[in-house]
Amino acid sequence: MITLASDFGTPYPAAMKGVLLQRTDARLVDVAHDFPQQDVRTAAFWLREVLPYFPPATHLVVVDPGVGTERNAIVLRAGDHTLVGPDNGVLLPAARRLAGSTDRLESGAIDEDALEPVEPTTPTGSMADSSGNADRSSQRRSNTFHGRDVFAPAAAAVHEADTGALDSLEWLEPTPIAADLEFPDPVLEDERAAGEVLVVDDFGNAITNVPGSYLDGRERVAANGDPVPVGETFAAVPVGERLATVGSHGYVELDVNRGRGDDAFGLEPGDRVVLEPVSDGPD
Amino acid sequence: MITLASDFGTPYPAAMKGVLLQRTDARLVDVAHDFPQQDVRTAAFWLREVLPYFPPATHLVVVDPGVGTERNAIVLRAGDHTLVGPDNGVLLPAARRLAGSTDRLESGAIDEDALEPVEPTTPTGSMADSSGNADRSSQRRSNTFHGRDVFAPAAAAVHEADTGALDSLEWLEPTPIAADLEFPDPVLEDERAAGEVLVVDDFGNAITNVPGSYLDGRERVAANGDPVPVGETFAAVPVGERLATVGSHGYVELDVNRGRGDDAFGLEPGDRVVLEPVSDGPD
Amino acid sequence: MITLASDFGTPYPAAMKGVLLQRTDARLVDVAHDFPQQDVRTAAFWLREVLPYFPPATHLVVVDPGVGTERNAIVLRAGDHTLVGPDNGVLLPAARRLAGSTDRLESGAIDEDALEPVEPTTPTGSMADSSGNADRSSQRRSNTFHGRDVFAPAAAAVHEADTGALDSLEWLEPTPIAADLEFPDPVLEDERAAGEVLVVDDFGNAITNVPGSYLDGRERVAANGDPVPVGETFAAVPVGERLATVGSHGYVELDVNRGRGDDAFGLEPGDRVVLEPVSDGPD
């Protein structure tokens, strides 16, 4: 099984799928192709939350603002899973979760020239294409689409090798990871949690880095000074009302029942969020 | 085969797929994940129109504004198909179409505690995760993402059981359906049809509940008093012009050739539409 | 393997998949379903760029503003690939690329009445559906959704026939292609290239028809009189800055590093682009 995740929109992911299917019969599963463009951090968050629900698989990830630069293309072995993508941190939170810790990750850098090159179908005689559109560039590998030309071939090769041992892959060079990425922990003291918004999901839920356990036993909480009810479900408050709840990832979310929490709370990713107890008096 | 439909956007459907693929090798087919959020009615319409084109399958549907409340999670057996989702009406129009009538539906409520719990990959030692992000919540099942934690496991179990007999599933309790959902019939008298807009599709076509046969033999029709040509195809009128036609679901649609009917007619879902004959004089 | 491409958004593609899966066990792969609506030209460009990366397959393409009119529904045999779609030019650039030239294409027109008709599930007794919604139209084939009712059955039949010889398909009539579509070549003289924007991708990159080789050996170039650096990668210029580069399709693109080239250059598809050398003096 190979999962695919990118910020490509369409139709670029289809070119990756074509390359994969030239080289493997693996099942292909899309994780997402609409991650915010070139937003390594948001993609890293979602991959960490989603990939652990998959059975052992090869995960192809391309959110790659540095495509074509000196950053390595890497393969990480994490528990029973293998991740393929750019060495810009996007793979690390998921890989660490899958492996248990950074220490348990095995990594290698892809030698692009040792992979079988990607070639589109070019039948004999195509240079005579009456459109005059053949032979547009002599380069064998693009500088702007390594998803198609580097990462997809590597993911197919990893899958086909069917091994947990990266050192058996001759096109991979043992190389330490250059770019890590960690999400900040909140500061928890006494009854106060000072954290931040990690991401906003498609429903507008503002997902913080404060552990859901902060809400245990509380009926109300002040979010940046503003008191809101704590609910176990969205429907704990009337439609259109705000609440704090524990999201499916285990963090405190600031939400609106059938509405957008980010708008109602005025929050976006990276914004500071302070949660405090609220007295039971009138607000 | 398991089909998936939701209002989740991305990447939440991928978590459902991961859970499914932990438990089954079934083919997975996406119906849609961009249904209008928490719009049970629109999702119910599209499922009724699309699912009957599938071969016998398990259909996993999650449009669930009441997630975490007392509403049941249900399984419906409808003809050769099985539907899994919340008991809020979203499954009913499709199930009734697949079974032939409500009387022929078999239903059960999912006992969430009897399903094998969903567990993300957590390797030995993960509590020592240097990110400090482990153990964010002690709850085993989220209150906000039953798609992942309840419906996907149930859909996988239904598929793997490979039986049309719901009473053989020990995690299912025979339970009548609580929430029905029906689309209104239009009032047809003499030459007049008084109906409503059921949904607007991605092209802007305003799909009404008036049977397409209303247009038989008519060259023009008045829609809310406004005369428009009847066309068998969009291209029956010039680009940018309005028309009434019979859509692929068999209903009268109010459309614009290569444009948006909803804008041109000023219609949205739920709006009343009266169709009447129009005299052949000048308009 | 059957690939699917359309401008349908959702959930119409799912109806096509249901019809396909009634008739074949083929692997289904989505190319894109969000091509700009009724924009034959843009879809034709992307299909030409993406399909050659696939192994031999049946490609189902529905961007069809003339649905229901006299335009033929056609099948093209192009090298080891087969394309199914409307005869409006959308298939031609991809087919020519796959076959090598127009001369090598074999074509046939689909006899819609010779295909096994598409029937949704309608259990015995469904006319008694208490919703009153049955029997909405007596037509067997819609005039507005040939993707479901004509092209999907034809694609399934092509795949199942498993033959490169179109003349063995009795529901296909040898028929020349009516509608061709070619992308213009740029005018290259001396050091000047006069071309146009073919498409803008989801990142805002303005993709021209000027071959990437035009940039060979140049450090700067004037785009419609405006000097910009030539970069091998997006990251060759600071974030937010403009550049000219060679895209993954081999053409000159006008881009912004982590931004939208179309906005920065004021370009949209069809706009004229003149590239000229720029003196190395101060700009």
A11 to chain C: closest CA residue: C32
The answer to whether A142 contacts C34, with C-beta atoms less than 8 Å apart, is no
Residue tagged 């303005």 (tokens):
C206
The answer to whether B182 contacts C131, with C-beta atoms less than 8 Å apart, is yes
Residues of chain B contacting A51 with CB distance shorter than 8 Å? 18, 121
Mean pLDDT for all residues in chain A: 92
Residues of chain A contacting C101 with CB distance shorter than 8 Å? 125-126, 128-130
- The C-alpha atoms of residue B117 and residue B150 are separated, in whole angstroms, by 8
- CB neighbours of residue C112 within 10 Å: 17
Residue A90 has pLDDT above 50, yes or no: yes
The answer to whether C99 contacts A65, with C-beta atoms less than 8 Å apart, is no
Element holding B255 (H helix, E strand): strand B251-256
The answer to whether the pTM exceeds 0.90 is: yes
Based on the fold, state whether residues B206 and B154 are members of the same structural domain: no
Based on the fold, state whether residues C35 and C75 are members of the same structural domain: yes
> Which tens digits make up the pLDDT trace of B82-139?
999 999 999 999 999 999 988 899 999 999 999 999 999 877 544 434 444 445 554 5
Chain A to chain B Cβ contacts (< 8 Å) = 145
User: Tell me, what amino acid is at C164?
Assistant: G
- The C-alpha atoms of residue A193 and residue A275 are separated, in whole angstroms, by 5
Mean of the pLDDT values across residues C72-91? 97
pLDDT of residue C163: 79
Residue A217 has pLDDT above 60, yes or no: yes
Quote the tokens at residue C44. Answer: 């034709």
Mean of the pLDDT values across residues C63-85? 94
**Reported confidence tier of residue C281, pLDDT bands at 50, 70, 90:** low
pLDDT of residue C131: 45
Based on the fold, state whether residues B120 and B214 are members of the same structural domain: no
Instruction: Report which of B248, A178, A143 is spatially closest to residue C257, judged by C-alpha positions.
Output: A143
Boundary residue ending a domain (A174, A207, A236): A174
Examine residue A123 and state whether it is found in any structural domain, yes or no: yes
Which of C2, C41, C45, C50 would you mutate first to test chain A, the one with the most A CBs within 10 A?
A: C50
The answer to whether B126 contacts A100, with C-beta atoms less than 8 Å apart, is yes
The answer to whether B248 contacts C148, with C-beta atoms less than 8 Å apart, is yes
**Reported confidence tier of residue A280, pLDDT bands at 50, 70, 90:** low
pLDDT of residue C132: 41
Please count the structural domains in chain B. 2
**More confidently predicted of C126 and A142:** A142
**Reported confidence tier of residue C139, pLDDT bands at 50, 70, 90:** low
Residues of chain A contacting C177 with CB distance shorter than 8 Å? none
Residue A46 has pLDDT above 60, yes or no: yes
> Which tens digits make up the pLDDT trace of B176-200?
999 999 999 999 998 999 999 999 9
- Beta carbons within 8 Å of A113's beta carbon, 6+ residues apart: none
Mean of the pLDDT values across residues B262-269? 97
Based on the fold, state whether residues B248 and B114 are members of the same structural domain: no
Q: Give first-to-last CA distance, chain C, whole Å.
A: 53
Domain that holds residue B244: 187-277
- The C-alpha atoms of residue C188 and residue C274 are separated, in whole angstroms, by 10
Based on the fold, state whether residues B150 and B270 are members of the same structural domain: no
Q: Vertex A137, ends A135 and A140: CA angle to 5°?
A: 105
Examine residue A181 and state whether it is found in any structural domain, yes or no: no
Mean of the pLDDT values across residues A123-128? 49
**Reported confidence tier of residue A79, pLDDT bands at 50, 70, 90:** very high
> Which tens digits make up the pLDDT trace of C97-127?
999 988 899 999 999 999 999 999 877 544 4
pLDDT of residue B30: 98
The answer to whether B144 contacts A245, with C-beta atoms less than 8 Å apart, is yes
> Which tens digits make up the pLDDT trace of C228-278?
999 999 999 999 999 999 999 999 999 999 999 999 999 999 999 999 998
Residues of chain C contacting B251 with CB distance shorter than 8 Å? 136-137
Residues of chain B contacting A32 with CB distance shorter than 8 Å? 10-11, 14
pLDDT of residue A128: 37
B183 to chain C: closest CA residue: C131
Boundary residue ending a domain (A174, A203, A220): A174
- The C-alpha atoms of residue C142 and residue B251 are separated, in whole angstroms, by 11
Based on the fold, state whether residues C112 and C226 are members of the same structural domain: no
Q: How far is CA A168 from CA A58, A139, A198, C66, in A?
A: 16, 29, 37, 55
Residues of chain C contacting A66 with CB distance shorter than 8 Å? 233, 235
- How far away is chain B from the Cα of A202, in angstroms, using its nearest Cα? 6
Three-state DSSP at B124 gives: coil
Instruction: Report which of C151, C160, C118, C119 is spatially closest to residue C26, judged by C-alpha positions.
Output: C160
**More confidently predicted of C165 and B84:** B84
The answer to whether C10 contacts B234, with C-beta atoms less than 8 Å apart, is no
- The C-alpha atoms of residue A47 and residue A14 are separated, in whole angstroms, by 20
**More confidently predicted of B8 and C144:** B8
Mean pLDDT for all residues in chain B: 92
Based on the fold, state whether residues B137 and B16 are members of the same structural domain: yes
Examine residue A62 and state whether it is found in any structural domain, yes or no: yes
pLDDT of residue B101: 87
Examine residue A283 and state whether it is found in any structural domain, yes or no: no
Q: Could you give the residue ranges of the DSSP H alpha helices within B115-178?
A: 146, 152-161
Q: Vertex B175, ends B174 and B179: CA angle to 5°?
A: 150
Residue C86 has pLDDT above 80, yes or no: yes
Q: Could you give the residue ranges of the DSSP H alpha helices within chain C?
A: 12-23, 40-50, 92-99, 146, 152-161, 261-265
pLDDT of residue A132: 41
Based on the fold, state whether residues A165 and A205 are members of the same structural domain: no
Mean of the pLDDT values across residues A170-180? 94
Name the DSSP class of A149.
I
The answer to whether C121 contacts B233, with C-beta atoms less than 8 Å apart, is no
On whether the CB atoms of residues C170 and C163 are closer than 8 A, the answer is no
pLDDT of residue C44: 98
Based on the fold, state whether residues C89 and C224 are members of the same structural domain: no
Residues of chain A contacting C29 with CB distance shorter than 8 Å? 14, 17, 21, 28
- How far away is chain C from the Cα of A137, in angstroms, using its nearest Cα? 5
Residues of chain A contacting B15 with CB distance shorter than 8 Å? 49-50, 53, 248
Examine residue B180 and state whether it is found in any structural domain, yes or no: no
pLDDT of residue C129: 41
Mean pLDDT for all residues in chain C: 92
pLDDT of residue C143: 85
B117 to chain A: closest CA residue: A53
Based on the fold, state whether residues B53 and B155 are members of the same structural domain: yes
Chain B residues with a Cβ under 8 Å from any Cβ in chain A: 8-12, 14-15, 17-19, 21-22, 28, 37-38, 65-69, 118, 120-126, 128-133, 135-139, 142-145, 148-149
CATH number of domain containing B94: 3.40.50.10790
Based on the fold, state whether residues A229 and A165 are members of the same structural domain: no
Q: Which of C33, C52, C235 sits opposite A65 (nearest CB)?
A: C235
> Which tens digits make up the pLDDT trace of C181-201?
999 999 999 899 999 999 999
The answer to whether B258 contacts C68, with C-beta atoms less than 8 Å apart, is no
Examine residue B182 and state whether it is found in any structural domain, yes or no: no
Residues of chain A contacting C42 with CB distance shorter than 8 Å? none
Residue A245 has pLDDT above 80, yes or no: yes
Examine residue B262 and state whether it is found in any structural domain, yes or no: yes
pLDDT of residue C142: 85
Boundary residue ending a domain (B153, B174, B195): B174
Examine residue C231 and state whether it is found in any structural domain, yes or no: yes
Based on the fold, state whether residues B195 and B74 are members of the same structural domain: no
- The C-alpha atoms of residue C137 and residue C142 are separated, in whole angstroms, by 10
Q: Which of B51, B52, B251 sits opposite C136 (nearest CB)?
A: B251
Three-state DSSP at B40 gives: helix
CATH number of domain containing C221: 2.40.30.90
Residue A201 has pLDDT above 70, yes or no: yes
